[in-house]
Amino acid sequence: MSAPLVIDVHGLSKAFGPRQVVKGLDLQVREGEVCGFLGGNGSGKTTTIRLICGLLRPDAGGGTCLGLDILTQAAEIRRRIGYMTQKFSLYGDLTVQENLDFVARLYGVPDRRRAVAEAMRNIGLADRADQEAQHLSGGWRQRLALAACLIHHPRLLLLDEPTAGVDAKARREFWDLITDMAAEGMTVLVSTHYMDEAERCSRVVYLAGGRLIVQGTAEEVVANAHLTVFEASGDRLEAAARALRGLPGVESAAIFGRTLRVVGQDRAALRAAIAGANAAASLRWEEVPARLDDVFIHLLDETRSGA
């Protein structure tokens, strides 16, 4: 039996002046799911999140969040979710404990002292309780923002690029917290540009031009893109990459460390392009599986070319 829907919206549209940002978007997210929200800059991710939680009113469409109507019960939705914005929005001159106490007051959390202590302990902030937020590193600020989102025990987390600008270790630790919470039944909708993070999601959704383009597990999205990928090792990789770019069938030719990775949808055209490049340089080629970042670049290029 499928888990109940926590987000169920249909036909969402939103324009700002002449610019249509979200266009007839349908989205469903089930309880306990970690749904990755992908798309290029300006694809409509942040606007969609704000429509779902009632911070913006759609021009058309509707639906429910946590079983509440996004048009008529927006205030109640906001009380029951945790929303973490792209920009750190707590007070830099307050300590970790003072910031959490302030947020707990806003939500009317009972027994605030206990709730704040529990939030700091769960997120690993107890040792920094008396440290001002402005003196925290990027990773610890993000932990504080997450703790503030959780202080009132929401059933749904909406995270808008929560790890932008933090180091790899802090990103991994942050995601460990998210997956632990999901295992306990929390539902998470998270936008990200990091493909290693998207691969940790139970499902990914890709937006372009305010429309949902593809969705599914990371494995399904990769398989359905039907990309062919060849990798080369050897000398003069830079020259080979320059020669391959722009040839028929070659969507991208990029160097990663000591390998050249070439991606396209037409296997025959890709092989022909590789054969030509190999005449000018002695390279060792092998076909390898596509990755989610290959699909992401492919979809970005399709969007920009108007496909």
Q: How far apart are CA 115 and CA 253, in angstroms?
A: 52
Is the model's pLDDT at 114 over the cut of 70? yes
Q: Which residues contact 93 (CB under 8 A, 6 or more apart)?
A: 132, 133, 134
Q: How far apart are CA 98 and CA 91, in angstroms?
A: 9
Could you tell me the sign of the dihedral formed by the alpha carbons of 260, 262, 267, 268, in that order? negative
* Residue type present at position 73: Q
Q: Which of 48-52, 139-143, 230-234, 269-273 has the highest mean pLDDT?
A: 48-52
Closest CA to 236 of 300, 295, 280, 289: 280
Residue at token pair 């704040």: 116
* Residue type present at position 158: L
Is the model's pLDDT at 59 over the cut of 90? yes
Residue 258: helix, strand or coil by DSSP?
A: coil
- The pLDDT of residue 302 is 79
Ramachandran class of 133: left when φ > 0, alpha when ψ lies in -120 to 50, beta otherwise: alpha
Tokens describing residue 146: 């997450």
Question: Over the stretch 228-264, which tens digit does the pLDDT of each residue have?
Answer: 999 999 888 888 899 899 899 999 999 998 999 999 9
* Average pLDDT value for residue range 262-276: 92
Question: Over the stretch 63-105, which tens digit does the pLDDT of each residue have?
Answer: 999 999 999 999 999 999 999 998 888 999 999 999 999 999 9
pTM for the complete prediction?
Answer: 0.90
CB–CB of 200/34 below 8 Å? yes
CB–CB of 98/42 below 8 Å? no
- DSSP annotation string for 70-87: TTT-HHHHHHHEEEE-SS
CA angle 24, 192, 32 (to 5 degrees): 80
- The pLDDT of residue 306 is 57
Question: Over the stretch 168-206, which tens digit does the pLDDT of each residue have?
Answer: 888 898 999 999 999 999 999 999 988 999 999 999 999
Q: How far apart are CA 293 and CA 287, in angstroms?
A: 16
* Alpha-carbon separation of residue 165 from 3, 98, 171, 199 (angstroms): 34, 25, 9, 19
Is the model's pLDDT at 163 over the cut of 50? yes
Looking at the DSSP bridge assignments, the partners of residue 158 are 83, 189
Is the model's pLDDT at 280 over the cut of 60? no
Is the model's pLDDT at 9 over the cut of 50? yes
- The pLDDT of residue 283 is 84
Q: Which domains does the chain have, with CATH numbers?
A: 5-222 (3.40.50.300), 228-289 (3.30.70.100)
Is the model's pLDDT at 281 over the cut of 90? no
* Average pLDDT value for residue range 163-171: 86
**307 confidence band (pLDDT: 50, 70, 90):** very low
- The pLDDT of residue 304 is 67
* Average pLDDT score over the chain: 92
